């Protein structure tokens, strides 16, 4: 064979070999990445080729699917009471990535989860029937919180202390997920929602930590009792009023100048929300002990999945004594979500044991068979002693019965709570946050509920912003819905 022809043949074979290698690489190595690419429309076509499974609240589906008018996306998602449950469901959109439970359980809801396949599905390569997500949400508690918050900007969470089941996740202002489901109309709705200064897409209940104010005093009191700094909530503390922040000439005053806060007991200090008592107590304990106690309650946990990943609530470190004093009243760099503050009350109500909070009870296949049960373990972890929990419950009851939280009183229910008003903005230039964290126990049964509420903004005058005035009535409505059925 001619040398030139032989060389050309070898070169051509090398080109063919390189082409085969590249094709193999793309097909078997890069194929999955291409298949998963957000710009690959085949994924949307496959997802919406059939009706999706449903998210269930109180035994009824709050989601659905409806046939589209045309095009290659045959079905789209629908929502019942979409704005009421948006903080739970999130949205499944033909145009945008799914969020909340819609995103976490997308494979179950669209039938691509391997656990859903039957033997026949495997043989025929047919997509399995979709599964369902059964939530722990109580529709009465959810609606009570949503209605009570009304036009206010805020959030609320309710938990069953004994089981860890989340009974309500409310975030206002809300939005209707149905506005985002159709690819042809989602764009304008998305632009409107993302440009809204009130940020309705933000899940304030789980994913917006704010300064908790005086509700954090419960954590400080727990640390003081567990450490033995004070043996009882009825032992007088060493607390001058006003308290001068260490290393400064700045006096820390109390909201109520006539309150009996000098050397007040923990019970009285919680009743009147005495800043001087808890600021000094924080310094006496030191930031390490306070952080250790806060972390027991769930602060600084960056993997709190319910199953939606909650933003981390923070107790800071590396502070001087004056800053440590401010953390004792829930200020400086302390932040918490309503979920976190509901966990504090839940652990106190549950005799010192914290059960992992969760808002999904079960995941089932198309036939109703359970694939995953999240209610299996309700044993909880002891974070404070039974004695400490009992004393704090008693002191919290005093807050509601004759202290700063009287708006949460409920006939036939033993209620304990703690109010909070947290500074907002540089030099407290913006309206304060109004907090209330609480628990309720039915006097006629063993039912319990823990609730935390924050009102970020309302139409109330600045002088009228308080945990008792704005947040406690919301908590009361939710506790009544949970316990007085």
Kindly state the greatest CA–CA separation across the chain.
111
d(CA 90, CA 82): 9
Told to judge if 179 belongs to the known catalytic residues of this protein, a careful annotator would answer no
Q: Exposure pattern of 116-141 as b/e (b: 16+ CB <10 Å)?
A: bbeeeeeeeeebbbbbbbbbbbbbbb
Q: Of 178, 214, 345, 458, which residue is the catalytic one?
A: 214
Tell me the CA distances in angstroms from 298 to 35, 100, 365, 412, one per residue in order. 38, 21, 32, 31
Structure tokens at 288: 């390490």
Q: Measured between alpha carbons, how far is 335 from 310 in angstroms, rounded to an integer?
A: 13
Q: Residues, the chain, total?
A: 485
Token pair of 210 as six digits: 């704010």
* Beta carbons of 371 and 108 less than 8 angstroms apart: yes
Neighbouring CB atoms inside 10 A of 350's CB total 24
Cis peptide before 196 (omega within 30 of 0): no
- The tokens describing 211, both together, are 């300064």
Neighbours of 61 (CB within 10 A): 15
What does 345-414 look like in DSSP terms, one character per residue?
A: HHHHHTTTEEPPPBSEEEEE-TTS-EEEETTS----EE-S-HHHHHHHHHHHHHHHHHSTTGGG-BTTEE
Task: Provide the annotated active-site residues.
Answer: 214
């Amino acid at each position: 064979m001619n040398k030139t022809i032989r060389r050309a043949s070898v070169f051509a074979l090398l080109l063919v070999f390189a082409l085969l290698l590249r094709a193999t690489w793309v097909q078997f190595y890069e194929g999955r990445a291409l298949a998963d690419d957000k710009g690959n429309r085949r994924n949307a076509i496959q997802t919406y080729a059939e009706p999706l499974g449903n998210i269930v609240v109180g035994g009824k589906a709050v989601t659905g699917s409806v046939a589209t008018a045309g095009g290659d996306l045959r079905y789209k998602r629908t929502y019942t009471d979409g704005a009421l449950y948006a903080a739970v469901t999130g949205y499944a959109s033909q145009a945008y990535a799914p969020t909340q439970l819609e995103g976490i359980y997308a494979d179950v809801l669209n039938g691509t989860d391997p656990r859903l396949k039957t033997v026949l599905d495997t043989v025929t390569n047919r997509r399995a029937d979709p599964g369902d997500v059964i939530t722990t949400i109580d529709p009465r508690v959810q609606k009570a919180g949503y209605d009570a918050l009304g036009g206010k900007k805020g959030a609320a969470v309710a938990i069953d202390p004994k089981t860890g089941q989340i009974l309500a996740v409310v975030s206002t202002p809300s939005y209707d997920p149905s506005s985002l489901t159709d690819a042809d109309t989602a764009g304008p709705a998305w632009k409107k929602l993302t440009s809204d200064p009130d940020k309705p897409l933000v899940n304030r209940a789980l994913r917006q930590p704010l300064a908790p104010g005086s509700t954090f005093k419960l954590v400080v009191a727990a640390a003081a009792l567990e450490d033995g700094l004070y043996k009882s909530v009825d032992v007088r503390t060493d607390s001058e009023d006003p308290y001068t922040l260490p290393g400064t000439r700045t006096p820390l005053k109390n909201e109520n100048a006539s309150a009996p806060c000098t050397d007040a007991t923990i019970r009285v200090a919680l009743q009147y929300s005495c800043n001087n008592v808890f600021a000094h107590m924080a310094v006496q304990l030191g930031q390490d002990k306070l952080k250790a106690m806060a972390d027991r309650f769930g602060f600084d946990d960056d993997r709190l999945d319910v199953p939606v990943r909650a933003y981390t609530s923070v107790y800071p470190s590396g502070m001087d004594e004056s800053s440590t004093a401010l953390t004792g009243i829930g200020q400086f760099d302390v932040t918490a979500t309503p979920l976190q503050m509901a966990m504090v009350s839940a652990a106190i109500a549950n005799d010192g044991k914290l059960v992992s909070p969760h808002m999904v009870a079960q995941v089932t296949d198309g036939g109703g068979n359970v694939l995953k049960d999240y209610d299996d373990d309700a044993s909880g972890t002891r974070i404070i002693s039974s004695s400490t929990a009992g004393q704090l419950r008693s002191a919290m009851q005093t807050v509601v019965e004759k202290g700063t939280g009287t708006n949460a009183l409920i006939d036939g229910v033993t209620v304990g709570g703690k109010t909070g008003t947290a500074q907002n903005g540089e030099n407290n230039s913006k309206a304060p946050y109004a907090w209330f964290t609480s628990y309720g126990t039915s006097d006629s049964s063993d039912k319990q509920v823990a609730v935390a509420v924050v009102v970020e903004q309302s139409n109330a005058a600045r002088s009228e912003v308080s945990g008792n005035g704005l947040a406690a009535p919301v908590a009361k409505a939710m506790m009544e819905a949970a316990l007085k059925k």
